[in-house]
Structure 1
Amino acid sequence: MRKFMLLLALVLLPWSLAQVRTFDQVKASGQIRIGTEGAFPPFNYFDAKNQLTGFEIDLGNALAQKLGLKPVWITQAFDTLLIQLNQGRFDFVIASHGITEERAKAVDFTNPHYCTGGVIVSKRGGPKTAKELQGKVVGVQIGTTYMEAAQKIPGVKQVRTYQKDPDALQDLLAGRLDAWITDRFVAKEAIKERKLENTLTLGELVFQEKVAMAVAKGNKSVVDALNQALADLMRDGTYAQISKKWFGEDVRCR
Structure 2
Amino acid sequence: MNKHFVILAVAGLAATSAIAAELPERVKSAGKVVVANQPNYPPMEYRDPATNELKGVDIDLGVALAKQLGVKVEWSDIGFEQMISSLTTGRVDLIHSGMSDLPKRRDTLDFVDYMKSGAQFYTAAARKDEFKSPADLCGKTVGMSRRTSFPDETAKWSAANCEAAGKPAIKVVGTEGSADARAQLKQGRVDAAVQGSETLPYLMTLEKDTYALVGEPFTAVYQGIGFAKKDSELRDAYAAALKALMDNGEYKKIFAAHGLEGTMLDGIYVNGEAAK
Shift in Å at residue 163 of structure 1?
2.2
**Against the structure 1 CA distance between its residues 108 and 70, is the aligned structure 2 distance closer, same or farther, given a 3 Å change threshold?**
same
Answer yes or no: is the 8 Å Cα contact 1:127–1:178 preserved in 2. no
**Aligned-partner Cα distance in 1 for 2:37–2:132:** 30
Q: CA deviation at 1:248?
A: 5.2
Higher helix fraction (1 or 2)? 2
Q: What residue in structure 1 maps to residue 38 of structure 2?
A: 37
CA apart distance, 1:232: 0.5
Deviation at 1:213?
A: 0.4
- Residues 181 and 230 of structure 1, relative CA distance in 2, 3 Å threshold: same
1:64-94 C-alpha deviation (Å, 9 max, x unpaired): 1000001100111111111211111111111
Q: Which has the higher strand share?
A: 1
Q: Deviations over 1:131-173 (max 9, x none)?
A: 2221011111122122221122224342111222111011112
Given that 2:35 and 2:96 are in contact with CA atoms closer than 8 Å, whether structure 1 keeps it comes out as yes
| Structure 1 position 59 matched with structure 2 position 49 | no
* Paired letter, 2:26: Q
CA contact (8 A) 2:198 2:263 kept: no
Identical-residue share of aligned pairs (%): 26
Residues 139-148 or 166-175, more deviating: 139-148
Consecutive unaligned residues in structure 1, runs of 5 or more: 1-21
Which residue of 127, 136, 142 maps to 1:132? Answer: 136
- Residue 146 in structure 1 maps to residue 147 in structure 2: no
Q: 2:165 matched to 1:161? A: no
Deviations 1:114-145 (A, max 9, x none): 00211110121243544222101111112212
1:183 aligns with 2:213: no
Give secondary structure in 2 for the equivalent of 1:97: coil
- Which 4+ residue blocks in structure 1 deviate beyond 6 angstroms? none
Partner in structure 2 of residue 219 of structure 1:
231
Partner of 1:101: 103
CA separation of 1:159/1:250 partners in 2, compared to 1, >3 Å: closer, same or farther?
Answer: closer
**CA-based RMSD:** 1.6
Whole-Å separation in 2 of the counterparts to 1:24 and 1:138: 47
Larger Rg: 2
What letter corresponds to residue 125 of structure 1 in structure 2?
D
Distance in 2 of aligned mates of 1:203 and 1:43: 22
CA distance in 1, matches of 2:260, 2:109: 31
1:40 alignment partner AA: Y
> Take 1:211 and 1:99, find their aligned partners in 2: how far apart are those partners?
5
Query: Which runs of 5 or more residues in structure 2 are unaligned?
Result: 1-22, 160-167, 267-276
